[in-house]
């Protein structure tokens, strides 16, 4: 009954932590492609090839349902995968849609025409690849009209977080927020469009100011997954064991992951 969680590195652990709390009876298999992180600087074909290889590995673990807890993979690869690659008995879901549904106050499965919403000016902080894909804007356009999105590519931030250099990470967050505000001085909402970024949410909030609503994905994805599995219980796969897999050095990744989640995490080679 396992469900797969995939990320290019450690950022997806924020999603894993939330879904594990929401669904304690479900074993999750986490796959971190740490040897190829970060994905945010790669081109779309490269991201697609790495993502499909990771998803196949999770299928091998008995995970018929895989969550792409990586915004870059969700943005650059998911649509292509869904159109021509995923078998009918498998499902791969991304992390953008639950966040957009929350921001636009729409329920899952609401396929009514796009409409005006309360938020008109949105700041998007994401990796360079996610920004280039314009996937967030595309998904938002299916649900809302009249929303101005200003995207800021946060180069270097994932690397700093993965390395555990939070002093550099904070400096980068404040620099990227300043750059965004030069383009959009008064955003009403901010999207943390990378699963690494919730670790810096307080810094983002402080730099943006108290009047900006900051959305991050972990709890929203957890709620959405719980609802999805309630409606599609057959998508819980045959896997029985929770585990952590990495393409990187398991010992090194385990140390960083333990610091990341502040509880002991032991990775094994993928």
- Alpha carbon distance 84, 104 (integer Å): 29
70 assigned to active site: yes
Nearest to 127 by CA among 250, 37, 27, 227: 37
Residue set of the binding site for substrate: 7-8, 39-40, 71-72, 195-196
Q: Which of 70, 123, 177, 214 is catalytic?
A: 70
Q: Which of 194, 203, 221, 225 is catalytic?
A: 194
Catalytic residues: 70, 194
């Amino acid at each position: 009954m396992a469900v797969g969680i995939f990320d290019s590195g450690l950022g997806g652990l924020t999603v894993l932590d939330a879904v594990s709390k929401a669904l304690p009876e479900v074993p999750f298999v986490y796959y971190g492609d740490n040897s190829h992180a970060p994905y945010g600087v790669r081109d779309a074909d490269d991201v697609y090839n790495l993502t499909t290889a990771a998803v196949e590995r999770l299928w091998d673990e008995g995970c018929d349902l895989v969550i792409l807890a990586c915004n870059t993979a969700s943005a650059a690869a998911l649509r292509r995968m869904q159109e021509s690659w995923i078998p009918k008995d498998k499902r791969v879901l991304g992390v953008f849609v639950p966040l957009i549904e929350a921001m636009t106050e729409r329920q899952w499965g609401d396929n009514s025409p796009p409409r005006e919403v309360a938020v008109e000016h949105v700041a998007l902080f994401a990796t360079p690849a996610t920004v280039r894909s314009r996937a967030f804007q595309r998904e938002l356009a299916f649900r809302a009209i009249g929303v101005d999105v200003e995207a800021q590519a946060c180069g270097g931030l994932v690397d700093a977080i993965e390395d555990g250099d939070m002093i550099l990470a904070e400096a980068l967050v404040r620099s990227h927020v300043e750059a965004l505000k030069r383009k959009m001085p008064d955003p009403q909402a901010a999207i943390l469009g990378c699963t690494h970024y919730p670790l810096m949410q307080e810094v983002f909030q402080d730099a943006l100011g108290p009047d900006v609503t900051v959305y991050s994905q972990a709890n929203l994805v957890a709620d959405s997954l719980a609802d999805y599995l309630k409606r599609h219980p057959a998508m819980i796969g045959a896997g029985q064991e929770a585990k952590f897999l990495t393409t990187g050095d398991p010992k090194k990744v385990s140390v960083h992951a333990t610091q990341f989640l502040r509880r002991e995490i032991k990775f094994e080679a993928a």
